Structure 1
Amino acid sequence: MTVELGRIGVWTWAFERLPWPQVRAAAREIEELGYGALFFGEMDGRPAPTQAALLLAATERIVVVPSVAIIYRHHPATLAQAERTLAEAFPGRFALGLGVSDRKHMEDRGHTWRPPVRAMREYLAAMDAAPLTGPAGPPSPRLLAALGPKMAELAGERTWGAHPYFMPVEHTAHLRELLGSGPKLVVHQNVAVHRDPAEARRLARASLAPWLAIGDRSSSRWRVIQELTGLTEADLDDGGSDRLVDAMVAHGDPDQVAERVRAQFEAGADHVCVSVATDYGLPEVRLPELRELSKVLL
């Protein structure tokens, strides 16, 4: 099934923590602004298929992508059935992002952690083998949350492509080289939009806080970043060095943010979804910034 993401989308954590009327209104405005796709995170809030169905029904054209549905939360046959249902009901408007989350988070919720690539490979096979009694339409395109080479290889081999989250431009170039020219490379870009450079940098650094807080659970991510950028352990101190902030977050006025998005495309991205940084813990979509960015990105 053909799904056209366009070049620029929006990524947000806020949807699973906001009341549905606010989510619906935000999704409609994001579509009206002209963004091509809407990506939302899944953790302990609304299940990914339910959230996707609500968003698709509330909008008319925009592509909706769970980013990502955590495989430990969903039985593969159930998710395969939901995927087919959404692809049938909203043709050309749904793609499915899949990921493993992190070990501690899953074990805290009673799941048995398995090696990520093996778990994902087996999950994809189980989805494909699921018995379906409804209309036999095609599944939606699938994207894998891929950071390292083995998951990227699996993404290129078994799915539409890779969807790395919160990584620097150097990683985009690295993944494009690994994937080759065929698979999709759908890149998340964290942005802090403010015309005051000091405030933009403050917001950018604040957006690193959740990641730094779970550094012991994201060591594989950090190893990849170190290898590709030359950053060191010292860059993690005191809320993150300026080098780390600059590598991980596009910050400044809309034109400066647009420069980083262009760099992502030059590095090999097919689509860039922007995620507006907020102070840690605030479930905000940040529509004012998305309005500003739409004038320079779309």
Structure 2
Amino acid sequence: MTPTNHQHPELGRIGIWAGELDDCTAAGLREAVATVEDLGFGTLWFPETAGREAMAQAAMLLSQTRRIVVAAGSTDIYARDAVTTAAAQRTLEEAFPGRFLLGLWDSHPSLAEQVRGHRFGPPLPTMRAYLDALDAAPFGPPGTAPSPHRVLAAQDPGMLALAAERAWGAHVLGMPVAHTHTARAILGPTAMLAVTQLCVLGPNRSHTAAPARDTAAAALPNRRTLLRALGYEAIDPPEDRLVDAIVAHGTAEDIARRVHEHLDAGADHVSLHLLTATPGTPPTRQWRQLAAQLLP
């Protein structure tokens, strides 16, 4: 039997990163993804940490929608073996052609070891070995072949280079526009580059300054070395310039301006991670404001 061709996911220019979906009920999750699709966003991204299993959640989201791409943006490579991941990806791509994107994440030592009971390995060789196993996986629906449509959650130059070599491209979360320039240079002109922008939306920048600072401070532990390489020296505590670089905050116009800066710097797709005072509730009101500003 001839292997099935994999339909290319069309992410669109703007998406939503819905980090709060694990805290929603199933009914709330269905309502959230329907809202994102109805507003016209191209892709709904979500992470995998210690909540719902990523592939099952992707199936739930895909079954409730008609058009939107669902991206499991940071599936933990310690959460399932590569054979299981390959079979799940091929199953979802068969059932929902062109609407599922697999994003692979090299995890964190505490999650890999304390939560999942594995030994955390060096990120680059561990990810490379996982990709080898993914490509060699024998299982999946009849007539399907290994899928080329995967991205690597990447920030440092080594993982970005691996994404250019072994994936469709890379997904970068929570980094300044200067990093988008760097990532595009490492990936080259043809690899797909998706970035997720941290956002705090409010009536003005003075209103959003404090939550933006809290958001930036929470993002720093995994980014200090990279940020220093980009020229940010005052990191602990973060200087105002660094807060503004990591978190787009203020009005919908302020956030839209940052989105276009990422696109001009070489991003193919920008997803918006809205941080609010009620993190367990999808920010549907804010999504509507941003859709009105950013979408045709």
Would the TM-score normalized by the shorter structure come out above 0.5? Answer: yes
Paired residue for 1:274?
Answer: 272
What amino acid is the match of 1:197?
R
Distance 1:18 1:89 in 2: 25
Paired residue for 1:184?
Answer: 192
- Decide whether the 8 Å contact of 2:224 with 2:235 is kept in 1: no
What amino acid is the match of 1:296?
Q
- Decide whether the 8 Å contact of 1:142 with 1:161 is kept in 2: yes
Distance 2:128 2:153 in 1: 13
Does 2:78 match 1:72? Answer: yes
Distance 2:213 2:28 in 1: 27
- Decide whether the 8 Å contact of 2:23 with 2:281 is kept in 1: no
Q: 168, 174, 177: which is aligned to 2:182?
A: 174
Paired residue for 1:290?
Answer: 287
TM-score by length of 1: 0.93
C-alpha RMSD of matched pairs (Å): 1.4
TM-score by length of 2: 0.93
Q: 121, 129, 133: which is aligned to 1:122?
A: 129
| Percentage of identical aligned residues | 42
Structure 1 unmatched runs, 5+: none
What amino acid is the match of 2:197?
Q
Distance 1:50 1:75 in 2: 15
Distance 2:282 2:213 in 1: 18
- Decide whether the 8 Å contact of 2:148 with 2:168 is kept in 1: no
Structure 2 unmatched runs, 5+: 1-5
Paired residue for 1:254?
Answer: 252
What per-residue deviation string (whole Å, max 9, x for no partner) do you get for residues 13-52 of structure 1? 1111211100100100110000000000111111110000
Paired residue for 2:227?
Answer: 225
Distance 1:246 1:106 in 2: 32
Higher helix proportion: 1
What per-residue deviation string (whole Å, max 9, x for no partner) do you get for residues 138-190 of structure 1? 42610001111111111011110010111111110001011110100001101
Distance 1:38 1:134 in 2: 25
Paired residue for 1:163?
Answer: 171
What amino acid is the match of 1:254?
A
The alignment partner of 1:68 has SS state of strand
Paired residue for 2:91?
Answer: 85
- Decide whether the 8 Å contact of 1:164 with 1:188 is kept in 2: yes
What amino acid is the match of 2:29?
V
Cα displacement (A) at 1:296? 1.3
The alignment partner of 1:258 has SS state of helix
The alignment partner of 2:271 has SS state of strand
The alignment partner of 1:236 has SS state of coil
- Decide whether the 8 Å contact of 1:13 with 1:283 is kept in 2: no
What amino acid is the match of 1:249?
V
What amino acid is the match of 1:247?
A
Matches within 5 A, 1:118-157: 118-132=125-139, 134-138=141-145, 139=147, 141-157=149-165
Distance 1:116 1:235 in 2: 25
Distance 1:134 1:262 in 2: 40
Q: 202, 206, 224: which is aligned to 1:198?
A: 206
Paired residue for 2:3?
Answer: none
What amino acid is the match of 1:136?
G
Matches within 5 A, 1:211-222: 211-212=219-220, 215=221, 218=222, 221-222=223-224
